[in-house]
């Protein structure tokens, strides 16, 4: 007669052997179609900007690891993800020397000073983007038109500008959809926003491609789906309330949902496992808070876009959310105050 043994052990209970490297590599896989569509839309300019961002982040991580007498951690793919995301937040005609500086800041200040992977408080790519926003406000708000006829045959002079020289832009787009609405009350077509047929950052491309990448990670159980759902639902509902109460003053919820960097931020940045809460209720609160901040900054603030600041603020508050929502330990009684 076969004897069966019940083995009881303490947590964590590992169900599947998925390592950090596996997760990071799959995030890269999910981001590659986004980067590819960006290159298709903006040509060689986007290719050079994204490649420079990745090289800067990987090189900085390797040098800092060697400088601190640690083994290089570039093999865990986290620096590649930071480089891809950072490059996708920039205008396609952004000067490469500024891109490189931003990549160094992303890793050095956004990740390394906190202790490396798993210890950073803020999303490193957004730390680099925020630095460039403050250091080079004109260059980072200078846009180029997508699908230019010569995008694969020439490179904008601003991209190859010499360090510390003022870049000269060959062709400038009037504004991003958010800027056009904010300052001129011009609303872009929802279909153009979904397909990425508008000017903006390299990552403000087809929202459908971004959603497909996010769906891939959700199916692989490598992303907490509650975060993007909470963010996007909050933005949609709050925008709908504002729009239907004052349609002449506020854009439609569809415009708010598909414009700017909301999709990229909600799917690939706010879901950073290190910078987001760990409890199920905590991530919902975190997502709602980010969505609320995005709408407030876009509609009531002085800036046309608020995704970057909303996520950074969410990162800062994530530990406090976990502290407040900390679940009761199984088998213990709730302590009354």
- The number of angstroms, rounded, from the C-alpha of 65 to the middle of its chain's C-alpha atoms is 25
CA distance 127 to 2: 59
pLDDT at site 144? 85
Of 328, 292, 332, nearest to 313 by C-alpha is 292
- The two tokens of residue 55 are 């090289």
User: 91 exposed, middle or buried (CB, 10 Å; 0-12, 13-18, 19+)?
Assistant: buried
pLDDT at site 330? 64
pLDDT at site 337? 46
Of 176, 182, 237, 181, nearest to 205 by C-alpha is 176
102 Cβ partners below 8 Å, 6+ apart? 53, 56, 86, 90, 128, 129, 131, 132
Residue 118, by phi and psi: left (phi above 0), alpha (psi -120 to 50) or beta? left
CA distance 256 to 112: 34
Per-residue model confidence as pLDDT tens for the chain (337 residues): 556 666 665 555 555 567 888 999 999 999 999 999 999 999 999 999 999 999 999 999 999 999 988 888 888 999 999 999 999 999 999 999 999 999 999 999 999 988 877 788 999 999 999 999 999 998 998 888 889 899 999 998 889 988 877 766 655 555 788 888 888 888 888 888 888 888 889 888 788 999 999 999 999 999 999 999 999 999 999 999 999 999 988 999 999 999 999 999 999 999 998 889 988 899 999 999 999 999 999 999 888 899 999 999 999 999 999 888 876 666 666 555 4
Instruction: End-to-end CA distance of the chain: give it in Å, rounded.
Output: 55
| pTM (2 d.p.) | 0.89
CA distance 187 to 252: 9
221 Cβ partners below 8 Å, 6+ apart? none
Q: What is the widest separation between alpha-carbon atoms in the chain? A: 83
Of 103, 101, 95, 106, nearest to 45 by C-alpha is 95
- The two tokens of residue 189 are 């077509």
């Amino acid at each position: 007669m076969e004897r069966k043994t019940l083995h009881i052990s303490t947590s964590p209970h590992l169900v599947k052997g998925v390592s950090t490297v596996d997760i990071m590599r799959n995030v890269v896989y999910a981001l590659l179609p986004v980067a590819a569509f960006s290159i298709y839309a903006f040509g060689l300019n986007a290719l050079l900007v994204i490649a420079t961002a990745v090289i800067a982040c990987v090189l900085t991580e390797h040098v800092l690891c060697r400088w601190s007498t640690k083994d290089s951690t570039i093999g865990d793919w986290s620096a590649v993800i930071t480089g891809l995301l950072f490059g996708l937040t920039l205008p396609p005609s952004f000067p490469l020397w500024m891109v490189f500086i931003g990549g160094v800041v992303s890793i050095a200040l956004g990740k390394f000073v906190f202790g490396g992977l798993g210890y950073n408080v803020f999303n490193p790519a957004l730390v680099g983007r925020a630095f460039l926003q403050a250091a080079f406000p004109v260059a980072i708000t200078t846009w180029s038109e997508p699908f230019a006829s010569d995008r694969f045959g020439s490179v904008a002079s601003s991209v190859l500008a010499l360090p510390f020289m003022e870049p000269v832009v060959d062709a400038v787009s009037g504004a991003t959809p958010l800027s056009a609405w904010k300052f001129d009350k011009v609303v872009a077509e929802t279909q153009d926003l979904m397909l990425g047929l508008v000017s903006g950052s390299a990552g403000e491309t087809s929202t459908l491609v971004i959603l497909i990448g996010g769906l891939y990670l959700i199916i692989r159980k490598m992303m907490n789906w509650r975060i993007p759902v909470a963010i996007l639902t909050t933005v949609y509902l709050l925008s709908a309330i504002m729009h239907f109460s004052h349609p002449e003053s506020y854009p439609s919820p569809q415009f708010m949902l598909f414009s700017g960097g909301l999709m990229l931020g909600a799917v690939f940045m706010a879901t950073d496992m290190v910078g987001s809460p760990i409890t199920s209720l905590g991530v919902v609160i975190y997502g709602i808070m980010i969505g609320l901040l995005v709408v407030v900054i876009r509609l009531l603030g002085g800036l046309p876009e608020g995704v970057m600041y909303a996520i950074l603020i969410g990162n800062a508050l994530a530990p406090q959310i976990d502290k407040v929502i900390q679940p009761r330990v199984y088998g213990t009684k709730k302590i009354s105050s």
